[in-house]
Structure 1
Amino acid sequence: MYLFFIFISLSNNFTLSLQQQNPSNEVMALLGFKQKSVAADPQGFLNDWRLESLTPCSWRGVSCSLHGKVNMLNFTGAGLTGCLHMDDLMVLDSLKHLHLSGNLFSGNFFLNKASHPSCIIETLDLSFNNLSEPISETFFGSCFHLVSLNLSHNLIPGDIHAVVVSDFFKSLKSLDLSHNNLFADFPMLEFKNCANLVALNLSNNSLYGTGIPRSLINCQLLETLDVSFNKLEGKIAAFLGNLRNLKHLNLGQNTFSGNIPQEMGSMCGTLIELDLSGNELSGGFPETFKSCNGLQRLNLGSNQLSGNFLTTVISYLPSLQILQVPFNNISGFIPVSLINHTKLQVLDLSSNGFDGNIPSGLCSNSSLRRLLLADNFLSGTIPADIGNCKRMEKINFARNHLSGQIPSEVWKLSNVHDFVMWGNNLSGEIPKDICSGTQTLEKLALNNNGFTGNIPASIINCANLSWLSLSFNQLTGTIPAGLHNLQN
């Protein structure tokens, strides 16, 4: 018995010794991928991938399971160039996560179903490459476990319908095909197998058609829907309000028309972000949105909206951080109730028909970073308490009817990059200590006003200044020496 045990032990050690002297199949597979798919590696990302290695688990970009099998490859931002051969990686039978984003791969990223019947990949990220092969129904073969697929920012052509009807679609939770050359008659797409889908991004493609596919109602777990920057038209579908888990909805930069459906307010329980900008929407913003207590970002810019919904609806949204309604037909006073939005960081009311004074108290909260009121009919003076917005980065009051001097408290805001006041009736002198306490100022536009006095010598301290416009004022004296040395 003892001799038998010694024999078994020696046999096992001999086998182990042989294994330790030979590279694994995974080493050979990865080196095959490097040889066939990587034409250039300018950052030296794969320099430690060598044949002498017995296991690839210590290689850069490679992660292994507890059993020593490769389960993740991450080449994000590696700058690799070449013609992609996905089949070489499919030899890795434990590979679940593949991240190739931020490279310059071209070529065929499809998988042959017959050659790889046991694909277990769950996450596949090929975004930000140069892939240009047409999309097809079978392009990921038998990858029925695929949970997250990101092909965004490529040059992929084809009909999105091929993806929606594919076998792997039913397992997907996240699909990002944005920024490609894909097309589809969007309302005709049949979303039948989307019970697991949580995020769908088809933005920046060539989707066309009138309306939104009603079959999206089958995607009840959907939290993110982005079809912005396409060629969609017609009315916004009221049934979107039945997607009760939606957190992010972006229909911007299409040609949707008509009123915003009241039924959409039904999604208020979860809605965090709503972007309907760049369409041809008219009417107001429905009062059903008053209950959107969690809404943080609202962009209704570049439409034909009107009415007093800033008072009747927006004032009731306590979580709002970004409010953008530029290029609409909204008129009347800027509601004083906006001062109650203590979390507001961006307020853009530019290019509307607002009149009256800029209300005091907008900076009663210190969160405001951008205050954009240009191209309205505002009058009166600039409130001194805007100087309380210590985080302010951009102020634009251009093309109004404002008068008087800019308060010293506003001049002293130390984080401002853009200070734009041109096209008003402002007066007074530019402070002699401008840019003495800060060098963040990049844009100073005071032209077409009534400023007097000299251009202060301290303006040469504005080291980051890239745009200076002081024309059409009543300034006197000499141009400060050294102004031409501002390199930006």
Structure 2
Amino acid sequence: MQHQIVPPIPSKNMIAEEIPQWLNTSVYLNISHNMITGIEPGAVMSTYVVDLSYNMLNSFPNSLSFNGLVYLSIKNNSVSGEIPASMCNITQLRLVDFSNNKFSGQIPTCFFNLSLVIVKLQNNQLQGQIPELTDNIRHSFQALDLSENRLEGLIPKSLGHCEGLAFINLGKNKLSGDFPSWLSKLPKLGILVLRSNFLSGAINFSFEESPFQGLCMLDISTNQFSGKLPMSLLLSLNAMKTFDISHARMVGVHNILGYGTAWEVGMTIKGATLSYQDEIWFFMNTIDLSNNYFEGEILEEIGDLKWLQALRISNNKLRGSIPKNFGGLQQLESLDLSHNHLSGEIPEELTKLNFLEYLNLSYNNLVGRIPQSLQFSTFDAGSFEGNPSLCGPPLLLPCEANESTTSIPFLVLKQANEERMWKYTSVALGFGVGFGTTISFSLFLNNGRGFDILWRRCYCPWA
């Protein structure tokens, strides 16, 4: 369906008070970034795009009539109360952005009966369970953001039937249950954020399943996942193995009647929470498994994720050494393995990561000398603290005073001294035996008299 785009009502004009009943446009109403406080009851908006974002709305009329509405944004206001059930009557609606308000109550079940493309309800006070999705929305759905609410219960399995889904953010809720493995076959899924929930259990995938082929952002941090580190899952992330422009634009800017609708997601990278939007042509390939109960070792094959840019597995129960194949992660900018039980030395291969801006290996059981290079010289002591057997700059502990680095040279020196001492002792014993033999033989030749005298003096002094 094509519509002629007419010039919008300019935003950012300090328009205040309520929207009057008579205000109407044929296609496009954009009065965002003003000081609008409400909408008069009985107002009819026969328009396709309504943008009331960044105003001072504190309520949304339940009886508001929208004829043919396709796009509705009231993000960044102070609207409270429940999502109006009348929204379910807007059958042409494709995009809803109610983010950053104070909506409470449950998401209307009928809400997901519509042919929605993008739903953004993040940062509200919504409660209850996420409704199951019907066939109407399964064929059109592309992006879902319900993060930063109070939603609970299980993640609906019907999400796994939405083959067009490219963006899912359910972070910072109270969701429970197992890892949603049924999402693994979604061909276009590029971003999956489930952080800060109560999800639990082990994550098991086999290499044959090849899950999440297009995933570029995976954040399951701050849950209760346990068991072995899900290496089969990580090593199946083919979008992080080779650069593909189609993956970089997988969750691109959607245009509805010429109006851009961007997604946004915050990720903890480089020691801070950074916000990424789809306006940028390329976004970070990130994996965040931190603050769980994963155990076991990190396999060498992790180095196959050559386009991985940020890896965070801190605050788990990992053991073993840091793989040398980390040196193959040439695009890596942020690495956080802190608060685990990793042992062994820091691989010299990490010094080859020229783009590495943030490194945190603190509070493990690492030993030996910290590698020295131009890149490593940029990291402060906080990157290595909590490893009692690490030495060298930027730590204050010099390597010559550290047992883990001086024990081997000491043993070598001790062995060399022992060999030298045995050599000298052997020479001395040989000389003594030879000298004694010579004297004894000389005395014996002297008719035995000297030997007899010597024997009497040494062993028979009374004779």
- The correspondence for 2:28, drawn from 142, 148, 158, is 148
> Does residue 234 in structure 1 map to residue 105 in structure 2?
yes
User: Is contact 2:327–2:353 with CA below 8 Å preserved after alignment?
Assistant: no
What corresponds to 2:302 in structure 1? 386
What corresponds to 1:190 in structure 2? 63
Task: Indicate how the Cα distance of structure 1 residues 410 and 215 shifts in structure 2: closer, same or farther if over 3 A, else same.
Answer: same
Task: Indicate how the Cα distance of structure 1 residues 265 and 331 shifts in structure 2: closer, same or farther if over 3 A, else same.
Answer: farther
Q: Could you tell me the TM-score, scaled by structure 2's length?
A: 0.68
- The correspondence for 1:134, drawn from 1, 5, 16, is 16
What corresponds to 1:443 in structure 2? 358
**Could you tell me how far 1:429 is from its partner in structure 2?**
2.1
**Equivalent residue letter for 1:288:** S
> Does residue 347 in structure 1 map to residue 218 in structure 2?
yes
SS in 2 for 1:123: coil
Looking at structure 2, the residues matched to 455 and 176 of structure 1 have their Cα atoms a distance apart, in angstroms, of 55
What corresponds to 1:317 in structure 2? 186
> Does residue 328 in structure 1 map to residue 197 in structure 2?
yes
Task: Indicate how the Cα distance of structure 1 residues 437 and 356 shifts in structure 2: closer, same or farther if over 3 A, else same.
Answer: closer
**Could you tell me how far 1:143 is from its partner in structure 2?**
6.1
- The correspondence for 1:306, drawn from 159, 176, 190, is 176
SS in 2 for 1:347: strand
SS in 1 for 2:104: strand
- The correspondence for 1:294, drawn from 155, 164, 183, is 164
Looking at structure 2, the residues matched to 231 and 142 of structure 1 have their Cα atoms a distance apart, in angstroms, of 26
Looking at structure 2, the residues matched to 385 and 135 of structure 1 have their Cα atoms a distance apart, in angstroms, of 61
What corresponds to 1:85 in structure 2? none
Looking at structure 2, the residues matched to 133 and 332 of structure 1 have their Cα atoms a distance apart, in angstroms, of 52
Looking at structure 2, the residues matched to 476 and 437 of structure 1 have their Cα atoms a distance apart, in angstroms, of 21
What corresponds to 1:117 in structure 2? none
What corresponds to 1:200 in structure 2? 72
- The correspondence for 2:37, drawn from 149, 158, 181, is 158
- The correspondence for 2:93, drawn from 212, 219, 222, is 222
User: Is contact 1:241–1:265 with CA below 8 Å preserved after alignment?
Assistant: no
Looking at structure 2, the residues matched to 266 and 150 of structure 1 have their Cα atoms a distance apart, in angstroms, of 28
What corresponds to 1:364 in structure 2? 236
SS in 2 for 1:256: strand
Task: Indicate how the Cα distance of structure 1 residues 463 and 315 shifts in structure 2: closer, same or farther if over 3 A, else same.
Answer: same
**Equivalent residue letter for 2:386:** F
**Could you tell me how far 1:179 is from its partner in structure 2?**
2.5
| Consecutive unaligned residues in structure 2, runs of 5 or more | 241-284, 397-463
Task: Indicate how the Cα distance of structure 1 residues 479 and 283 shifts in structure 2: closer, same or farther if over 3 A, else same.
Answer: closer
Looking at structure 1, the residues matched to 8 and 165 of structure 2 have their Cα atoms a distance apart, in angstroms, of 30
User: Is contact 1:326–1:348 with CA below 8 Å preserved after alignment?
Assistant: yes
User: Is contact 1:228–1:252 with CA below 8 Å preserved after alignment?
Assistant: yes
**Equivalent residue letter for 1:158:** T
> Does residue 471 in structure 1 map to residue 388 in structure 2?
no
SS in 1 for 2:198: coil
Task: Indicate how the Cα distance of structure 1 residues 180 and 364 shifts in structure 2: closer, same or farther if over 3 A, else same.
Answer: same
**Equivalent residue letter for 1:144:** T
What corresponds to 2:56 in structure 1? 181
- Tell me the alpha carbon deviations over residues 245-277 of structure 1, each in whole angstroms, 9 at most, x when there is no partner: x11001111111111122556511100011111
User: Is contact 2:321–2:344 with CA below 8 Å preserved after alignment?
Assistant: yes
SS in 1 for 2:238: coil
Decide which structure has the larger Cα Rg and report it: 2
**Equivalent residue letter for 2:64:** F
What corresponds to 2:131 in structure 1? 261
**Equivalent residue letter for 1:400:** N
Task: Indicate how the Cα distance of structure 1 residues 143 and 284 shifts in structure 2: closer, same or farther if over 3 A, else same.
Answer: closer
SS in 2 for 1:378: strand
User: Is contact 2:8–2:28 with CA below 8 Å preserved after alignment?
Assistant: yes
SS in 2 for 1:306: strand
> Does residue 429 in structure 1 map to residue 308 in structure 2?
no
What corresponds to 2:420 in structure 1? none
What corresponds to 1:123 in structure 2? 8
**Could you tell me how far 1:189 is from its partner in structure 2?**
2.7
Looking at structure 2, the residues matched to 394 and 255 of structure 1 have their Cα atoms a distance apart, in angstroms, of 31
What corresponds to 1:116 in structure 2? none
Looking at structure 1, the residues matched to 327 and 91 of structure 2 have their Cα atoms a distance apart, in angstroms, of 51
Looking at structure 2, the residues matched to 135 and 462 of structure 1 have their Cα atoms a distance apart, in angstroms, of 57
Q: Work out the percentage of aligned pairs sharing the same amino acid.
A: 32
**Could you tell me how far 1:293 is from its partner in structure 2?**
1.1
Looking at structure 1, the residues matched to 379 and 16 of structure 2 have their Cα atoms a distance apart, in angstroms, of 47
User: Is contact 2:176–2:200 with CA below 8 Å preserved after alignment?
Assistant: yes
Q: CA RMSD in A?
A: 2.7
**Could you tell me how far 1:360 is from its partner in structure 2?**
2.6
**Equivalent residue letter for 1:355:** S
Aligned length: 345
User: Is contact 1:239–1:263 with CA below 8 Å preserved after alignment?
Assistant: no
**Equivalent residue letter for 1:323:** L
Looking at structure 1, the residues matched to 310 and 117 of structure 2 have their Cα atoms a distance apart, in angstroms, of 28
**Could you tell me how far 1:411 is from its partner in structure 2?**
3.7
**Equivalent residue letter for 2:367:** T
SS in 1 for 2:367: strand
- Tell me the alpha carbon deviations over residues 45-64 of structure 1, each in whole angstroms, 9 at most, x when there is no partner: xxxxxxxxxxxxxxxxxxxx
SS in 1 for 2:18: coil
Looking at structure 2, the residues matched to 445 and 347 of structure 1 have their Cα atoms a distance apart, in angstroms, of 20
User: Is contact 2:294–2:316 with CA below 8 Å preserved after alignment?
Assistant: yes
- Tell me the alpha carbon deviations over residues 187-241 of structure 1, each in whole angstroms, 9 at most, x when there is no partner: x43232x2322111111110100x2212212321211101111111111100112
> Does residue 409 in structure 1 map to residue 325 in structure 2?
yes
- Tell me the alpha carbon deviations over residues 451-478 of structure 1, each in whole angstroms, 9 at most, x when there is no partner: 11222221x3369869952111121134
